[in-house]
Each structure stands twice: as structure tokens, then as C-alpha cells.
Amino acid sequence: MSVAIDPRVAAFIDSQHGLLIDGHSQPALSGAQMPVFNPATGEELTRVAAAAAADVDLAVAAARRAFCGSWAAQRPADRERLLLKLADLLEANGEHLAQLETLNNGQSIHLARALEVGAAAEFTRYMAGWATKIEGKSLDVSIAAVPGAKYRAYTVPEPVGVVGAIVPWNFPLLMAIWKIVPALACGCTVVLKPADETPLTALRLGQLCLEAGIPEGVVNVVTGTGAVAGAALAGHPGIDKVAFTGSTQIGKVIGHAAVDNMTRFSLELGGKSPVIVLDDCSPEVAAAGAAGAIFFNQGQVCTAGSRLYIQRAIFDQVLERLATIAGGLNIGPGLDEQAQINPLISAKQQKRVLGMIERGVAEGARVVCGGVAHGEQGFYVRPTVLTDVTADMQVVREEIFGPVVVATPFDSLDEVVELANDNQYGLGASIWSNDLAKVMALIPRIKAGTVWVNTHNMLDPSMPFGGYKQSGIGREMGHAAIEAYTENKSVCIAY
Ligand code: ADP
């Protein structure tokens, strides 16, 4: 059954979408706009303002004024209360936000409700609590100096300043919240640049921040392309920190731009996460786990379990069950409550994913199931399982960001450690087994920012999240998020 679009969601989509600067919606100075599409139909949904460097200048200036003015005047308890109010508003507007996200991003309405809204509200409440718990240390120093002089030293975490947040299209609202909320909890202000493809929930979030009572200019939203608006923000000398989630390729560009200005930065980048199945595991459990790890949000997840390593004794059984699950998934629009596989974000992404499958096949991979597009309309790719792959193939090495998993057998634990770590990325990994000794031996040997056991893709606001190797620099969530948005000042007092 297809969810009926709420008239208020339709009205929002049809409204004028300006840039949110200093609490006001305004067109781009050039008047430029860009289209936004519905991935389930390929049709244009609406148009939004396309910011250029001059618009970004205005947004950064507004964020600076707010940082030094209205926001600096708020006590930690005020910031906490405002963020708690924002969480309430996310929930109160939850169904609208979820429908909007599904229309713009293509993802399942269930996922939009549970993650983009539900997890975002939980995350907001968790981070709101940190606002009143940011503390420094009192240091017992041993400075050898003038006889009789005494010193007392302590540290003060101070808000880093104006944050440029650049987020991707795979979980547009949640990713925006992951950046904005800890930044605000720490006393920073933000200029948010949503992905080119998915600006709508970010704009609505900007409105909700104002509705919550967060002062004008604290959260600014500049829609536009990455190449123009994103680049202008990342390289802006007026920002103090860039918080980026996206591809490794663009993350490097952003890191370079940030270093040129000595802007602080954190990068949450790509992944090619291994799923390691040991042979004590039931093939049913392993296949269901592997399917969830890769097909969740059509594999458009930076931690997607896209490399599946199965111990040889159960390889055929797991593969067969995985193919059965993949072949049986309902494919349809995100608004269809029965649909389990939804469209990819864009025609470009669909073409890229299909191209990578084709290249894999040309290099010798065998398609166990899927491997092709689905339907006449919308950007669907059938859930795909490839096997007979070798470690040098592009499908094994590179992030596909689609519903495509490569399955490989292994014999020993040493072998699977080598296979799992033989990749430029190191974001997530999962181990499927109840053999505690083997699991505990594997965990420290896997080079990944998060290791799951008998689960995959599970994140919590309390768990630091980020990558080893080319998967990024820095951590989000937990106390790590507070460190990411504060400078540590040392104070030394002689008395
Ligand atoms: P994807 O390939 O998944 O779209 P990207 O890394 O290209 O991932 O995009 C992630 C975010 O980075 C988006 O908001 C995008 O607009 C932005 N972006 C893309 N190119 C640049 C750039 N050169 N400078 C700054 N931001 C960019």
C-alpha cells in the first residue's frame, strides 16, 4: 500500500525554496535555481536556490554574528533546552519529514520514519545532554621555575566557532543532525550545505530550528552544488571547522582546502566493509545478516557490508540462501510500505552501479542473482550477489554504494584477516559467529573504526563512529563529537 502524501508535505514541496540565511529564506543573489528529483519516478519534484560563493559569504557572516552574539549569550542549559525542543519538533513533524525524505531520497518510508526521524530525535536528545556536561581538567603541574612560585593549570573546552557542515544524500536529515546538533551543543554555529540531490529536509530542519527558538543565524542552510557552494564553504577563511561526510575523493579535496586555512576538519568517508562468517554460524542467520548488511537502504550506506567472506564449509549454503533472500525482495517506491528495495538516488548513481557490475562480470565475476536494472521508471537496481571474484577486481576493491555484494570463501582465520584488511577503507566490519575465542581473536586484528559481532550497521549516539585508513579522519558520536567541536585551551596561573 502506498502512503498518501500529506497535503502539508505537498504544500511544502511546492513552496519557494530559498537559502536560509540569518533566519530568513532568500533567493540566491544570482537568482539561480537547481532542480530536485523524485528517484522513484525520475520526475522533477521542485526547484531550490543554487548558492554561489557570494551567498556562502553571507551565510558565514550570519553564522559569525550569531556565534559572537545571540548564541554566545546562551547558557549551556539554554542550549540543552533548545535542542530538546528541536527533538520534540522532529517527532511532532515526523511523518511529514519522513514523507518528504522518501519523496526526495527514494528510501523506504519505514527507514525514513525510524532513522531520519526516530534516530535523529534520539541523537538530538543524547547530544542535548552533553551541552551541560562539557568540562575541562584541573592539572597538577610540576613546572620547575622560580623558587617559591606556584602554578595552577587547567583546560577549558571552548566552542570551535563557525562550522561548515557538508553532508551527503544517503541519509540527508540524519547526517545533517549528526553535524548540527553536537556543534550547537558545544556553542558553535553552523552553515549547512546539503547534498545537491537532497536539499528538502535540510531546509525544513532549518525552519524547525527557528521554531524551536534557536536564534536566527545559528543554523544557516545553503543549497547548491558541491562544486560551487560546497567548495566555497570548505575553502572559506571565515569558518573554523569543516565537518564532512561523503566520498573519499571529495573528502581529500575538502581536507586540502581546510588545511590551507588551518581550518579544523573531520572527514567521514567511504567504506568497503567486510562481513566475516565463521563456519559455526547457522547458514540462515548468516544469510539474513549478510542481506541486511548490504541491502539496507539499497547499499547506499558508507558501512554497507559489501564484501562477504564465508568460511568454506558453509559457503554454498549461505550463498544459496542469500540469493533466495535477494531474489525475493519486493522492489518498489519508498512510499510503498511493502517495498523492501527502493530506487537509488539518481540516474547517475544507477548507471555507475550497473557499470561497476558490468566491469566485474567482464573481469570474471559470476552473477548469482540480480545484476541488472529493474522497471521502466525510477532508478532501481536489483539486489545483486557476485561470486568467483578475485581480490584485484574493481568490484572487490572499490565502494559501489549500491545493492551489490561480492562473496568469497575462506579457509583459515589468518586468511580472512588478510582478505578483510586488504582494502584502502576501514570504516566498519562484522563478524558472524558464536565461537567466543575466535571472535575475540579476530576483533583486534580487523582494521576498522567499528567492529560488529552478529549484527551490522548498528550505530548509537554513544558509540564513536569514524574510519581507519581512507575512511576518514576523526570520530562522530559520543564524547568524541564534543571534542570535534571544541578547542582545548590550557590556562596556567602563577600565584
Ligand atoms: P557522492 O559521490 O556520494 O555524491 P560526494 O562526496 O560527491 O558524494 O558529496 C558529498 C557532499 O559533498 C555533497 O553535499 C556534495 O554536494 C559535496 N561536494 C561535492 N563536491 C564538492 C567539492 N568540490 N567541495 C565541497 N563539497 C563538495
Q: Which domains does the chain have, with CATH numbers?
A: 7-269+472-494 (3.40.605.10), 274-460 (3.40.309.10)
- Write down the pLDDT at residue 144: 82
CA dihedral 241, 242, 243, 244 (to 10 degrees): -170
Bridge partners, residue 453, by sequence: 431
The verdict on the CB of residue 193 being under 6 Å from ligand 1 is yes
Atom of ligand 1 nearest to the CA of 166: 14
Strand 44-49 vs strand 189-193: parallel, antiparallel, or unpaired? unpaired
Contact 25, 3 (CB under 8 A): no
Ligand 1 proximity of 250 Cβ (cutoff 6 Å):
yes
On whether the CB atoms of residues 39 and 345 are closer than 8 A, the answer is yes
Global model pTM greater than 0.85: yes
Q: What is the rounded distance in angstroms from the CA atom of residue 54 to the CA atom of residue 59?
A: 9
In angstroms, the CA 217 to CA 422 distance is 45
The CB of 62 under 6 Å from ligand 1? The reply is: no
CA angle, residues 107, 32, 220, in degrees to nearest 5: 65
pLDDT at 1: 83
Q: Which residues pair with 26 in a beta bridge?
A: 19
> Is 188 considered catalytic here?
no
**Alpha carbon nearest to ligand 1 atom 21, residue:** 226
179 in contact with ligand 1, CB cutoff 6 A: no
**pLDDT digit of tens for each residue in the chain (495 aa)?**
899 999 999 999 999 999 999 999 999 999 999 999 999 999 999 999 999 999 999 999 999 999 999 999 999 999 999 999 999 999 999 999 999 999 999 999 999 999 999 999 999 999 999 999 999 999 999 998 788 889 999 999 999 999 999 999 999 999 999 999 999 999 999 999 999 999 999 999 999 999 999 999 999 999 999 999 999 999 999 999 999 999 999 999 999 999 999 999 999 999 999 999 999 999 999 999 999 999 999 999 999 999 999 999 999 999 999 999 999 999 999 999 999 999 999 999 999 999 999 999 999 999 999 999 999 999 999 999 999 999 999 999 999 999 999 999 999 999 999 999 999 999 999 999 999 999 999 999 999 999 999 999 999 999 999 999 999 999 999 999 999 999 999 999 998
Provide the H-helix boundaries in 74-135: 76-92, 94-105, 109-111, 120-130
The C-alpha cell at 246 is: 561523503
pLDDT, position 443: 98
What type of residue sits at position 121? A
Q: What is the pLDDT of residue 146?
A: 81
Q: Which atom of ligand 1 is nearest to the CA of 245?
A: 10
**Direct distance between the N- and C-terminal alpha carbons of the chain, in angstroms, rounded to an integer:** 73
Beta carbons within 10 angstroms of residue 378's beta carbon: 23
Query: H/E element holding 283?
Result: helix 283-295
The CA dihedral of 309, 108, 471, 252, to the nearest 10 degrees, is 140
**425 alpha carbon to ligand 1 midpoint, in Å?**
18
